[in-house]
């Protein structure tokens, strides 16, 4: 049985290596990340230098505003 699981894992690894491990971004994902960048700019926060508190704040604001806009559209 352990040999069977090992074969399944090797097959899954081969598929992931061939096709990529991460699913491509959807159009909504791309729009959200673009909006997230605008929120970072609005508050003059550089993502790579942001503290955890700053980063969490920007993400919460972006999620709130982005999905509210989506619901109203």
Q: Residue 60 above 90 pLDDT?
A: yes
Residue 32's domain comprises 22-72
- Exposed, middle or buried, 58 (CB in 10 Å: 0-12/13-18/19+)? buried
How far is Cα 48 from Cα 51, in angstroms, rounded to an integer?
9
| Number of domains, the chain | 1
Encode pLDDT of 26-53 as tens digits.
Answer: 899 999 999 999 999 999 999 999 999 9
Q: Is residue 58 domain-resident? A: yes
Q: Is residue 17 domain-resident? A: no
pTM value is: 0.69
The residue that leads in pLDDT, 4 or 59, is 59
Q: Is residue 66 a contact partner of residue 35, using CB atoms and an 8 Å limit?
A: yes
Which one-letter DSSP state was computed for residue 49? G
Q: Is residue 35 a contact partner of residue 62, using CB atoms and an 8 Å limit?
A: yes
């Amino acid at each position: 049985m352990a040999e069977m699981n090992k074969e399944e894992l090797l097959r899954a690894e081969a598929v992931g290596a061939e096709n990529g491990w991460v699913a491509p971004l959807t159009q909504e994902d791309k729009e959200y990340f673009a909006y997230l960048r605008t929120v970072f700019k609005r508050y003059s926060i550089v993502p790579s230098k942001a503290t955890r508190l700053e980063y969490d704040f920007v993400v919460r604001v972006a999620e709130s505003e982005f999905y509210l806009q989506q619901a109203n559209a």
